[in-house]
Structure 1
Amino acid sequence: MSTATPADWQVRPAPRTAEEWIARAAAVAAVLATDAAARERAGAPPHEEVGLLKESGLVTLLGPAEHGGGGQDWTTAYRVIREIAKADGSLGQLLGYHYLWNWAARLVGTREQWEHVEAEAARNRWFFGGAVNPRDRDVVVTEDGDDLVFTGRKSFSTGSRVSDVTVLEGVLEGTDQHVFAIVPSNSAGLTFHDDWDNIGQRLTESGSVTIDGVRTPWSSAAGYVDKEFRPRVYNTLNVPTIQLVFVSFYLGIAAGALETAATYTRTRTRPWLHGGHDRAVDEPYVVDTYGDLTAKLWAVEALADAVAAEGQELHDDPDAVTEQARGDFEVRVAAVKARATDTALEIASRVFEVTGARSTTRAEGLDRFWRDIRTHTLHDPVAYKRREVGRWVLEGELPEPTWYS
């Protein structure tokens, strides 16, 4: 990380409003941006950068204020993710996944469980990772007295080596019951592998993990009472919530690409020698491209904010969430996910048209925005998001809650 470190966040007044938290995120992003391209090329685990997220208090954003958390809601969290992702897509993803896994206790657990987890997470500024990849073979969970024992392997575990705690998920042996539990990331039997080697989102620590007899008390099984799961429709909001997290860092990365490109165009891009202009910023095609891409980004950001507000109404009254309300919300999420995917990919690709050939040097790192977007937008096929919207429009069909819808 750059030697241009911030003043001690601990002595600064803690943000109290959504606007102050977003401003805090922008200040953190300014620090992350100073060496983002070089850091991405180096590919080292972002321990120091995650430390900055902790020191600045951003990791506690959704935590209860009475335990030192920010006391904010998801509409603010999505905006904070966007700000961080403008500077560093990997850190935006890490923070977004952290918020989801922190909130998972509330989504799935009993009140006693989630109040305990949220209090401890806020007090200790835990950073969350997760080993939950539904495309892999299920992790097997067995009983051993008052303990559960998780055994298996997952090919992706975002946050892994930079996390304090990890969310595990598996199927209770001999049943079809899924079990979520939070364990310390340094638990015996939990081994994170350094095998994440993708073209984008290179610092998300998303390598594979071996889960070899990791033990946790039955009492930590989220949502279980006397070894019986207590389901709620609210449990199924995990997917639309994480999909909005995806939207947030997609839009943040796209905004970062535009801002970085615009700075380059203003300061370094040369006008075309046959265009008749002295400055690149006066080239009609350059002005038009920036206007076009900015308008598209603003449109999707506005839709994302509207859908986030709709989702917050469900989070505010979880016991009143119905299948219809959940389904209608998932359709809206699918729509903004599709638009964000297409728009972010277009922006991250087309900025090269208005920066010029010299902007493609590795030192500039302008390609990292496209590589980050391209890598993560393959998480689940966007065609199926458009299908959800189309089926709802034509038949009133609600998406079936799955790991991806």
Structure 2
Amino acid sequence: MSPSSSALDIARALAADFAETAVERDQRGGTPKAERDALRRSGLLALSIPKAFGGHGGTWQDTLGVVRELARVDSSIAHVFGFHHLMLATVRLFAKPEQWQPWFEQTARQQWFWGNALNPLDTRTVTRHFNGWCEFSGKKSFCSGAADSQMLIASAVDENAGGKLLIAAIPTNRSGITLHDDWDNFGQRQTDSGSASFERVRVEQSELLLDPGPLSTPFACLRPLIAQLTFTHMFLGLTEGALEEARHYTLHETRPWFKSGSQEARLDPYVLAHYGEFWVALESVRLLVERATRLLDEAWARGPALTAEERGQVAVAIATAKVAASRHGLEICSRLFEATGARATHASLRLDRYWRNLRTQSLHDPIDYKLHELGDWALNQTLPIPTFYS
């Protein structure tokens, strides 16, 4: 990433390249190795790392803007890129400076990719303690981006401490770690979100994220909000990409219905009504997402001085944006066929991939529970309680 080029410019150039193979790779699934290496070469893996540690000092608006740009053509790539920066935020928020600062420096210098094996709801991985170190043993599901990564954020249940969750940052190639090629869902097919096995994996005390620890302070509780807003930007970018592809198809391929009285589909009154509704929905999501991102950057800048009230206000804004992005995105990605016509369902186009990708990722945590939290806020002025999903 050169000093004269912006992150968004680089992301747009990458997205143009990724778009050339997006349809074929969606069908194939598996690890997008060439695309991940292109991200390494771009320098964007160091975007959110402060300049003092060799990074580019990007804001969350910068970083999530890249997620959104990539998602317009390839939401799987956007997913693993966003998760990489989420993992960096995890060590920054949960660990001591003497831990995260060297990790940041090495990531920027060596263009490390960070993968996820945290999944706090999967409690099959447990801990055994020894003198100065411990072992993780068990399985984890939904390990997005773990394949082709250099570092993993992993978690295990400490049964000797009442089921407390221990989180660690460990090298992906550590002895005892096996990443399984078992992700074959109908969407997000190149996120490598399959399972991982841990067989007596040694974890040093210096690799455990204990101080301040998970969700221990209002500032540390920004971690789940970064995750939620990453998904939200991905949903928005994905929907924008779907609408742009539908628009191109409508303008160049769609035939007007015989009763429309129009010579071209672009003048069909019902087609125009569809696009009008799509526009209103997307504009509302854009405004909500931009506001939520601005509030996250302001909260991040507050650092340890962030209060629970301030954090709660950010949580409400992000939950609102996520619900809107999910609902409007799913509707647009489904209804776009009403504006493109029957021929747009041809398998070679795979226009259904937008809906499949959004539907798959939107089930990460139920929207119903986001609405419950927002309802409690709207009615009772009760801010969301921090969890790994809110």
Q: Which residue of 2 aligns with 1:29?
A: 15
**CA distance in 1: counterparts of 2:207 and 2:216, whole angstroms:** 16
1:203-262 residue CA offsets vs partner (Å, 9 max, x unmatched): 10000111111112101111349xx99943212111111000010101111011001111
The structural deviation recorded for 1:103 is 1.3
**CA distance in 2: counterparts of 1:109 and 1:193, whole angstroms:** 28
The structural deviation recorded for 1:273 is 2.4
Contact 1:15–1:70 (8 Å) recurs in 2: no
| Change beyond 3 A, Cα 1:229–1:130 | closer
Residue identity in the other structure for 1:351? L
After superposition, where does 1:317-396 map in structure 2 within 5 Å? 317-396=302-381
**CA distance in 1: counterparts of 2:102 and 2:215, whole angstroms:** 18
Contact 1:67–1:123 (8 Å) recurs in 2: no
Q: Does 1:264 align with 2:226?
A: no
Q: Which residue of 2 aligns with 1:196?
A: 183
Q: Does 1:304 align with 2:289?
A: yes
| Change beyond 3 A, Cα 1:15–1:200 | farther
The structural deviation recorded for 1:34 is 1.0
Q: Does 1:246 align with 2:254?
A: no
Q: Which residue of 2 aligns with 1:295?
A: 280
**CA distance in 1: counterparts of 2:288 and 2:45, whole angstroms:** 25
Q: CA RMSD in A?
A: 1.7
Among 376, 382, 386, the alignment partner of 1:397 is: 382
**CA distance in 2: counterparts of 1:245 and 1:146, whole angstroms:** 35
Aligned length: 389
**CA distance in 2: counterparts of 1:59 and 1:310, whole angstroms:** 23
**CA distance in 2: counterparts of 1:66 and 1:231, whole angstroms:** 26
Q: Does 1:45 align with 2:57?
A: no
Residue identity in the other structure for 1:178? L
Residue identity in the other structure for 1:267? H
Residue identity in the other structure for 2:189? R
Q: Does 1:185 align with 2:172?
A: yes
After superposition, where does 1:170-181 map in structure 2 within 5 Å? 170-176=156-162, 177-181=164-168
Q: Which residue of 2 aligns with 1:99?
A: 85
The structural deviation recorded for 1:67 is 4.2
Q: Which residue of 1 aligns with 2:208?
A: 221
**CA distance in 1: counterparts of 2:357 and 2:216, whole angstroms:** 36
**CA distance in 2: counterparts of 1:67 and 1:380, whole angstroms:** 34
| Change beyond 3 A, Cα 1:230–1:98 | closer
- Judge which range, 334-343 or 269-278, deviates more: 269-278
The structural deviation recorded for 1:87 is 0.6
1:149-192 residue CA offsets vs partner (Å, 9 max, x unmatched): 11111122111212121111123340143222111111111111
Contact 2:123–2:157 (8 Å) recurs in 1: no
**CA distance in 2: counterparts of 1:289 and 1:42, whole angstroms:** 32
| Change beyond 3 A, Cα 1:260–1:195 | same
Q: Which residue of 1 aligns with 2:72?
A: 86
Residue identity in the other structure for 1:350? R
Residue identity in the other structure for 2:21? D
**CA distance in 2: counterparts of 1:278 and 1:36, whole angstroms:** 33
Residue identity in the other structure for 2:121? R
Q: Which residue of 2 aligns with 1:235?
A: 220
Q: Does 1:63 align with 2:49?
A: yes
| Change beyond 3 A, Cα 1:126–1:354 | same
Q: Which residue of 2 aligns with 1:156?
A: 142
Contact 2:260–2:269 (8 Å) recurs in 1: no
The structural deviation recorded for 1:274 is 2.7
- Secondary structure of the residue that 1:354 maps to in structure 2? helix
- Secondary structure of the residue that 2:221 maps to in structure 1? helix
Q: Percent identity?
A: 37
After superposition, where does 1:132-151 map in structure 2 within 5 Å? 132-151=118-137
User: If the length of structure 2 is used for normalisation, what is the TM-score?
Assistant: 0.95
| Change beyond 3 A, Cα 1:337–1:111 | same
**CA distance in 2: counterparts of 1:229 and 1:297, whole angstroms:** 34
- Judge which range, 296-305 or 198-207, deviates more: 296-305
Residue identity in the other structure for 1:273? F
Gaps of 5+ in 1: 1-9
The structural deviation recorded for 1:138 is 4.7
Q: Which residue of 2 aligns with 1:284?
A: 269
**CA distance in 1: counterparts of 2:138 and 2:233, whole angstroms:** 31
- Secondary structure of the residue that 2:128 maps to in structure 1? strand
- Secondary structure of the residue that 2:127 maps to in structure 1? strand
